[in-house]
Amino acid sequence: MSFPQDLAALAAAHGVGIDYEGSDRTVVTVEPEVVRAVLDTLGVDASSPQSVASALEEVRRQESARTLPPTVVVWQGSAMALPVAASVELEDGTRLQPTRELPADLPVGYHRLTAGETQCFLLVAPPRLAEVPRTWGWMLQLYALRSESSWGMGDLADLATFVRRSGEEQGAGVVLVNPLDLVAPTHPIQRSPYSPATRSWVNPLYLSVTSTAAFRGADAATQARVLELAPRNDTELIEHDAVWDAKSAALELLHPLRPDEERVEHDDETLDVATFCALAERHGGDWRDWPASLQDPKDEAVRQVRVDLAERVGFHAWLQLLCRQQLDAAREAARDAGMAVGIVHDLPVGVSAGGPDTWAERDTFAPVVRVGCPADAFNELGQDWGLPPWRPRELAEAGYDPFRRVVRAVLEHADGIRVDHVAGLWRLWWIPPGEPARRGTYVHYDPDAMLAVLMIEAERSGAIVVGEDLGTVEPVVTRTMRERGLLSSSVLWFERDWDTPGQPFIPPEEWEPETMASVTTHDLPTATGWLDAEHVRLRASLDLIDGSEQEALEQAHADRDALLRLVEDLGLDRSDPVAAFHAVIARAASRLVLSAPSDVVGERRQPNLPGTVDEYPNWRIPLPLSLEEFFADEQVARAIAPLQRERP
């Protein structure tokens, strides 16, 4: 396809890709009308040759008028030449004399540069994060892990118990937990942990009601009333609406009984998100559907709401206080258990278009765009995650402060962070309005700046960073992460020699050391499901296969046989394939090796089936064993024995 030269130049100036390498390693040229549509969402008119020429001239004018870019990134230990002499104001207020070369010994942090009338942000990042300990652990879907005291789904008290027992009794050194981010408190409750309303606050759905100080201090009659509200704990699927109704009603009973130390003055940021939740209860979970007077949080009408709904605002602020307390208790349990790493929290790609983040910072987002990914081997039609992306230019002009606050909020209660779709720090697949997932294109960000923020916050918190780099990912993503001390991701299903006929599986000792390895992920088949090709039959039944079901089954069986050949080549017993798979990853050169509870208990259903919403019970499948049964189960013990043996 011949691509218009001026349109290509305009797209490049705004970070919009005109081609990309697909999962089959062939170059795909994006259709010009898709590029025009994406530019339009950035406020750039490319509808005609004349408008393209005008937009290009505006780009050149802006570039010539600016002596420094909006954000400058330097890696500590490396000097950097500047195009003009600039003075430096450090984060602590110290001012340095104007210079044309930034010194190599600048402290890690967020500083400012000034050159004449131009000011910009200066990010100084560590060149590499500290080495990650070599250990094993769990990748946990917390909602699925119900205990005898759960209210219909796993909660933060269950998380504390799980990390303590897995550390003390099993010798695990890390637990990766699904995103625990806030969703709107309205029906239907958003089930996907990867589609939160905000990534900076916690979902009260995970609160343990009976672990609160208010419940412990209540009289017997009140405790009985609270316990009567508990939903069923043995439902076939997780019922998020019922769980929220029960917990919110119980917590409303307990709110007046909170102890004095919880009757605090909340900061403005907490009150802002609490105000959003209070308004959502009245007007719905998407602010774009609210009355016009409430759609701008800076309006006087919203400030008045904080007064008029002070009780509800205070209630939601209190819930966030409880969430922080229980998250910290779980983290302390991991430390008491002697875990080498601790709890790693998962960071989703983005937030919902109608949540508190876009409500407060809408200029930073491209609200009509959805991010996702192009077609690949497991998702032939591509994926549409329905999340609006940040605008690259506005993010840079803000010194990446929105991203800073997100990462800082996560690491406040975590020992590590896993960045879902870490390639999004480099580029995101933008799907313009009205187009299917496969008709999009990549929009590029400044990866140095995004990585700098991530590494500054991780170093300050003493945290590890893992990036999920599966699917269609440029080699530079994985290479840069490993150079900077971030772990990339290895999944048993994908560790193959793709350039050799038959694509044999790679022996685990040859895997890249700077990785977090696992058998599978939440978006892929479980071990049992993969062995039985359950994922093929399921996707075929929902018309999610681009081709025939028979061909897909034949390929699945060939993949299974190839992996079992590796098991035999390693001298492992294949009579229990799931245990054998764990024996394979136990030998991996990877620093971290993780198992999924759903794998070791023989669950056939994967937690999430990309490309579906209500067609499949995504994020609703509980483990068939309770938390208490899990630690006494012989099948679990047999599966993790190789991990314990290889990584004591």
Instruction: Quote the CA–CA distance of 597 and 588 in Å, as a whole number.
Output: 19
Q: Does 419 map to a domain?
A: no
Instruction: Specify the pLDDT at position 1.
Output: 57
> What residues in the chain have per-residue pLDDT under 70?
1, 377-379
Is there a single domain that holds both residue 226 and residue 183? yes
Instruction: Specify the pLDDT at position 377.
Output: 64
Q: pLDDT tens-digit profile of 356-399? A: 999 999 899 999 999 998 877 666 778 899 999 999 999 999 99
**The two three-digit tokens of residue 608, written as one number:** 């999430």
Q: Does 237 map to a domain?
A: yes
Is there a single domain that holds both residue 179 and residue 256? yes
Q: Does 323 map to a domain?
A: yes
Q: Is 162 exposed, middle or buried (0-12, 13-18, 19+ CB in 10 A)?
A: buried
Contact 146, 154 (CB under 8 A): yes
Q: Rounded to 5 degrees, what are φ and ψ at 52? A: -65, -45
Is there a single domain that holds both residue 115 and residue 204? no
Dihedral sign (CA 643, 518, 195, 272): positive
Instruction: Specify the pLDDT at position 378.
Output: 60
Instruction: Specify the pLDDT at position 191.
Output: 96
Contact 142, 158 (CB under 8 A): yes
Q: Strand 383-387 to strand 370-373: parallel, antiparallel, or no bridges (unpaired)?
A: antiparallel
Q: Strand 95-102 to strand 80-89: parallel, antiparallel, or no bridges (unpaired)?
A: antiparallel
Contact 483, 126 (CB under 8 A): no
- Given 327, 342, 373, which residue is the final one in a domain? 327
Is there a single domain that holds both residue 216 and residue 84? no
Which amino acid type is present at position 197? Answer: A
User: Domain residues for 59?
Assistant: 5-65
Is there a single domain that holds both residue 55 and residue 81? no
Q: pLDDT tens-digit profile of 283-323? A: 999 999 999 999 999 999 999 999 999 999 999 999 999 99
Instruction: Quote the CA–CA distance of 395 and 452 in Å, as a whole number.
Output: 14
Contact 349, 371 (CB under 8 A): yes
Instruction: Specify the pLDDT at position 627.
Output: 98
Instruction: Specify the pLDDT at position 592.
Output: 98
Q: Does 344 map to a domain?
A: no
**The two three-digit tokens of residue 301, written as one number:** 């009408």
Instruction: Quote the CA–CA distance of 352 and 184 in Å, as a whole number.
Output: 10
Is there a single domain that holds both residue 58 and residue 94? no
The count of structural domains within the chain is 3
Instruction: Quote the CA–CA distance of 598 and 145 in Å, as a whole number.
Output: 10
- Given 285, 307, 327, which residue is the final one in a domain? 327
Is there a single domain that holds both residue 309 and residue 174? yes
CATH number at residue 278: 3.20.20.80
Is there a single domain that holds both residue 182 and residue 272? yes
**The two three-digit tokens of residue 310, written as one number:** 């002070």
Is there a single domain that holds both residue 262 and residue 204? yes
Instruction: Specify the pLDDT at position 15.
Output: 96
- Given 327, 345, 377, which residue is the final one in a domain? 327
Q: Does 301 map to a domain?
A: yes
Instruction: Specify the pLDDT at position 420.
Output: 96
Q: Does 195 map to a domain?
A: yes
What is the SS3 assignment for 273? helix
Q: Does 139 map to a domain?
A: yes
Read out DSSP for 281-347? HHH-S-GGGS-GGGSSTTSHHHHHHHHHTHHHHHHHHHHHHHHHHHHHHHHHHHHHTT-SSEEEEEE
DSSP secondary structure letter of residue 189: P
Is there a single domain that holds both residue 263 and residue 280? yes
Q: Does 561 map to a domain?
A: no
Is there a single domain that holds both residue 25 and residue 173? no
Is there a single domain that holds both residue 168 and residue 290? yes
